[in-house]
Amino acid sequence: MTAFASLSRLCAVLGFLATAGCQSASIEDVVPGARNTGTYPNINVAPQAETEQLTDEEAASQLVNLQSRRDAQNAAPASQATEVERLRRLRQTHAEETIEQIEN
């Protein structure tokens, strides 16, 4: 018998065993606690919230807070431009000082 034939038989047996195991499964095995009551579920019942919801006043307060933070971040690039210029001057002076130290 060739290796290919024995490998194909092994695959066939494993495939048969895999499908045989699936045939014995029931809904209780897959979803514990599930049961067939013979009726359709009522999807019109409003779900209960897990946490307390924000009031309109709290939502408005949070919105104002977020907008003020957004405006503060939008104003930041002006000060960032001066920081970039400061770093460029530092780079130039540092390079000049380093060259001077090397030459002396």
Is residue 15 assigned to a domain?
Answer: no
Q: Examine residue 17 and state whether it is found in any structural domain, yes or no.
A: no
Residue 19 domain-assigned (yes or no):
no
Q: Is residue 98 part of a domain?
A: yes
* Residue 20, domain member (yes or no): no
DSSP letters for 4-33: HHHHHHHHHHHHHHHHHHHHT--HHHHSTT
Range of the domain at 103: 58-104
- Residues with Cβ within 8 Å of 36's Cβ and at least 6 positions away in sequence, in order, are 27
Residue 68, domain member (yes or no): yes
**Is position 100 within any domain?**
yes
Q: Is 101 inside a domain boundary? A: yes
pLDDT beyond 90 at 56:
yes
Question: Domains in the chain: how many in total?
Answer: 1
Pair of tokens at residue 96 = 């000049």
Query: Does this model's pTM top 0.95?
Result: no
Q: State pLDDT tens for residues 12-45.
A: 666 666 665 556 667 667 777 777 788 888 889 8
